[in-house]
Amino acid sequence: MDTTQFTGEHLWPGQLGHFFVIVSFVAALLSTFSYIRAAIVEQDLEQSRIWKRLARGSFMVHAVSVVSIFIALFYIITNHLFEYHYAYEHSSYDMPSEYLLSCFWEGQQGSFMLWTFWHAVLGLIVMRTAKHFETRTMSVIAFVQVILTTMILGIYLGPDIKIGSTPFMLLRNAMQNAPIFAMPDYMDFIKDGNGLNVLLQNYWMVIHPPILFLGFALTLIPFAYCIAALWKGDYKSFIKPTLAWSLAGGAVLGTGIMMGGAWAYESLNFGGFWAWDPVENASLVPWITLIAGLHTLLVYRRTKRAFTVTMIFLLLTHLLIWYSTFLTRTGILGKTSVHAFTGDGTALTYHLLIVIGVLMVISKIAILYRWKQLPRIKTEEATLSREFWMFIGAVILFLAAVQISVTTSIPVWAPLAKWITGKDFAPPTDPVSHYNNIQVWVAIIIGLLSATIMYMKYKNSDGKTLAKRLGGTALVALIMAALIACGQDITTWQYDLMLFAACYGIVANTYYGISIQKLKFKKLGPSVAHLGFAAVLLGILLSAYNKHAISLNTTGVPFNFQKETQQETIKENMENVIMFLGVPVAMGNYFATYIGDSAVEGKDKRIYYRVLFEQKDTTTGEVTDRFMLYPDAFINPKGQQGLSANPSTRHYWNYDVFTYISSATDKSKSDTSSYKSHIVNQPGDSIYLDNGFMIFNGFSREIDDPRYTPKEGDLAVKAKLSVYNMEGKQNEIGPIYILRDKQYIMQVDDTVKSMGLYTRFGALNVHSKDSASLDIQVRQTNPMDDFIVLKALIFPYINVLWIGIMIMVFGFFISLGDLITTKSKAPEA
């Protein structure tokens, strides 16, 4: 038994945190059992009340324990207790404080805890609002909480079976084979942690994961209501709460997904807002099935049709959340995703597969148990009925989800397929084209249907009235689409169809809201949401179809960009341009000039590169537009070789100028400049520089410089220098000369980093009491030693996309508000 007494460790936060993990697990388990018992003995009011009271109390204990776990881990992270593996892996002293919260959910355990936290919050709300559904819905919610808590238990059943991974594991236990951890004072050698991944040191990392995980958590509530309805055969009163929670889930999860797109666009160098990355797809697919289930639930609410398919869609949505967790956390995606988790061994893989299997079995049993009693209508829907085309739209959405899932899951099923067929299966080499070529047809069909069904009625519609209304809106949309297609040069026929579908959706839903719904705000939810969706389609098309690079490489300088295919490598070489310090480069309608870089004071270790863009009138030569962009990068982060870049964007109403650094000078290795002497004799003497000039303004004995600490007997003098660049901007600097103890000469240099200028005293020659000359030594960075490689893209009309997303989400909340506040029937679509 190891009896080593380790010094410098803070064990109580981890012990307290792990204690609350155990308490939360036990409390959730007790709550599950008690709620199930309360549901079983529901007819015995007294017994049911006793079990329900115990279940509620247990769930509250569970919720408090989850918050306590959160606090304990956050304390460990914010206090940089690197004796804990989680803090060591995800935080560091030099990380800006605003990103400390991001460390919490960067890792596997922290993100599971965030998910558990949202479930606990939602569970408390359901506990208060579910009424007679409480025992059944909370049985499901509490059971899922048991499952989630096992993800952070970190206990062993025997030598080989591990359940979960605790965030409170000590570093010496996680790396117990390292010799340093045999030393009692090993903490004296742990000076810093690994820190947050530099790509995640962004404000989006603070706000995007909580919203996305709230969206994930919200899918549990419709799942729970569906199980509850099937449990007792209650197929009517479950509709309103399930519809409300589905609307909330659709709005929040959709917002979370597109916040991820905005993060990729604003902060990552993907060159866009959506790359069909497997992690993006894994979160999109459950949202698609949720939207499909939401619409079939509306059909069931009005016509009593489509109950079974509604159950399948809403149950499948939550199962797909777990499947997306399996894809993104087990490492099975390998190199097909740029931001999946690397995996936590086979234990997590089997753990998640068991969870998916258990929830799938529960869902199947619930449906099969009531299969013969499920509501059905034997007659067929009328072709011109709203429910018929809503059902068709839901099926199209489901097929879209299937296509995305199957392609994204190739790393999962490819080994089995190879074993059966003997053939290799690999993900598409150009995923963007692969998905776009298929999903464009989904966009066209759904775009047309989302507008057309607004004019239809349930059960049947009058064909003449429908044709009259749709004919007029289609004609206006056709004219609008033709004008946009000509103006934006959209010549690919399938994208012309998508353009028409988007314009049709905008015109038809706008007209419906104004003319038919008479702008009655509470009833505008469906038309507003569909209008937003149509605007999203238009924004995607306009921004992506004519996205183009303006940083064209005409120098013939090859770059060492290693892409997966030769075609991609050639494309990257053609769309990146080298920019030397102070040398203008033509980019589209602009002239761009790299004018220097600057590091940020404090803990932020990134370097910001200043690039000036100017647009000039071709006739007069006058500058008509000028702006500065600041793309930044971490050079060799944490000792690693390479560059991690974040873009900078200039926003206009009709386009964005999007830039990011592909390569940059490592000035610690590349500076070849040397100091040169310049003699000045009197104030007013000038020194000419490569990119400006400098004026000597005399000497000063008054030195207020934090770099110089005076001592008794010092003779210190500062040279006052005014530095002007080519634009006339002035900087005041002052190198210092120090004679200490009448024999030691010391110097303090001064710099103007934006000009690559370094100055220092060479020699101070005193000719007489009133006369002296000064040798000022000047070094300027060679422009050829200071360069960046920049990629600049134009995204036309991308604001249409962002506005469309906001409108669509707003429509969800209008419908949700109407449903909650109106006792009568909710919106029809």
Instruction: Give the span between the Cα atoms of 272 and 479, in whole angstroms.
Output: 29
> Range of 651's domain?
566-658
pLDDT of residue 828: 41
Residue 245 sits in the same domain as residue 370: yes
Considering only 191-195, 369-373, 628-632, 639-643, which range has the smallest mean pLDDT? Answer: 639-643
Indicate whether 269 pLDDT > 70: no
Considering only 21-25, 208-212, 723-727, which range has the smallest mean pLDDT? Answer: 723-727
Considering only 246-255, 415-424, 599-608, 680-689, which range has the smallest mean pLDDT? Answer: 599-608
pLDDT class of 601 with cuts at 50, 70, 90: low
- State the angle between helix axes of 220-232 and 239-267 in degrees (0 to 180), rounded to the nearest 10: 160
Instruction: Give the span between the Cα atoms of 473 and 503, in whole angstroms.
Output: 10
Residue 209 placed within a domain: no
pLDDT of residue 198: 75
Q: How far apart are the first and last CA of the chain?
A: 67
Q: How many CA within 13 A on the CB side of residue 312?
A: 11
Residue 54 placed within a domain: yes
- Give per-residue burial for 372-398: e unless 16+ CB within 10 Å, then b: eeeeeeeeebeeebbbbbbbebbebbb
SS3 (DSSP) at 622: coil
The domain total for the chain is 4
Residue 188 sits in the same domain as residue 75: yes
Considering only 36-50, 212-226, 684-698, which range has the smallest mean pLDDT? Answer: 684-698
Residue 341 placed within a domain: yes
Token representation of residue 730: 């002035």
Considering only 425-439, 550-564, 651-665, which range has the smallest mean pLDDT? Answer: 550-564
Indicate whether 3 pLDDT > 70: no
Indicate whether 112 pLDDT > 90: yes
Instruction: Give the span between the Cα atoms of 405 and 320, in whole angstroms.
Output: 9
Residue 64 placed within a domain: yes
Residue 87 sits in the same domain as residue 13: yes
Average pLDDT of the segment spanning 391-420: 93
Residue 270 sits in the same domain as residue 316: yes
pLDDT of residue 637: 58
Residue 346 sits in the same domain as residue 238: yes
272-330: per-residue pLDDT in tens?
A: 788 898 889 999 999 999 999 999 999 999 999 999 999 999 999 999 999 999 998 88
pLDDT of residue 643: 74
Considering only 294-308, 494-508, 773-787, which range has the smallest mean pLDDT? Answer: 773-787
List, in sequence order, every residue forming a beta bridge with 676; answer none if it has no partner.
Answer: 778
Indicate whether 66 pLDDT > 50: yes
Residue 433 placed within a domain: no
Indicate whether 345 pLDDT > 70: no
pLDDT of residue 473: 94
229-250: per-residue pLDDT in tens?
A: 999 988 889 999 999 999 999 9
Q: Which residue has the higher pLDDT, 97 or 344?
A: 97
pLDDT class of 73 with cuts at 50, 70, 90: very high
Task: Report the percentage of the chain scoring pLDDT > 70.
Answer: 92
681-719: per-residue pLDDT in tens?
A: 888 888 888 778 899 888 888 887 777 778 877 888 888
Q: Which of 162, 196, 230 is the C-terminal boundary of a domain? A: 196
Residue 46 sits in the same domain as residue 137: yes
Indicate whether 640 pLDDT > 60: no
- How distant, in Å, are the alpha carbons of 19, 109, 210, 322, 461 from that of 153? 10, 10, 22, 18, 57
Residue 15 placed within a domain: yes
Residue 326 sits in the same domain as residue 249: yes
Q: Which of 343, 377, 407 is the C-terminal boundary of a domain? A: 407
SS3 (DSSP) at 658: strand
- The label of the residue with tokens 């999203």 reads 536
Indicate whether 494 pLDDT > 90: yes
Indicate whether 564 pLDDT > 70: no
pLDDT of residue 710: 81
Q: How many CA within 13 A on the CB side of residue 60?
A: 8
Average pLDDT of the segment spanning 102-111: 88
Residue 485 placed within a domain: no
Residue 126 sits in the same domain as residue 242: no
pLDDT of residue 829: 37
Residue 158 sits in the same domain as residue 302: no
| Burial category of 343 from C-beta neighbours within 10 Å (exposed 0-12, middle 13-18, buried 19 and up) | middle
Residue 114 sits in the same domain as residue 224: no
Query: Counting every residue, how long is the chain?
Result: 829
Q: Which of 407, 423, 443 is the C-terminal boundary of a domain? A: 407
pLDDT of residue 562: 65
Residue 272 sits in the same domain as residue 384: yes
The two most distant CA atoms of the chain are separated, in Å, by 114
Instruction: Give the span between the Cα atoms of 324 and 405, in whole angstroms.
Output: 9
pLDDT of residue 827: 41
pLDDT class of 645 with cuts at 50, 70, 90: confident
Residue 666 placed within a domain: no
Average pLDDT of the segment spanning 380-406: 95
Average pLDDT, the chain: 88
Alpha helix stretches (DSSP H) within 151-277: 171-174, 203-218, 220-232, 239-267
Q: Are 213 and 189 in contact (CB under 8 A)?
A: no
pLDDT class of 341 with cuts at 50, 70, 90: low
Considering only 21-25, 398-402, 708-712, 796-800, which range has the smallest mean pLDDT? Answer: 708-712
DSSP assignment letter at 327:
H
Instruction: Give the span between the Cα atoms of 299 and 455, in whole angstroms.
Output: 15
Average pLDDT of the segment spanning 127-134: 94
Residue 179 sits in the same domain as residue 316: no
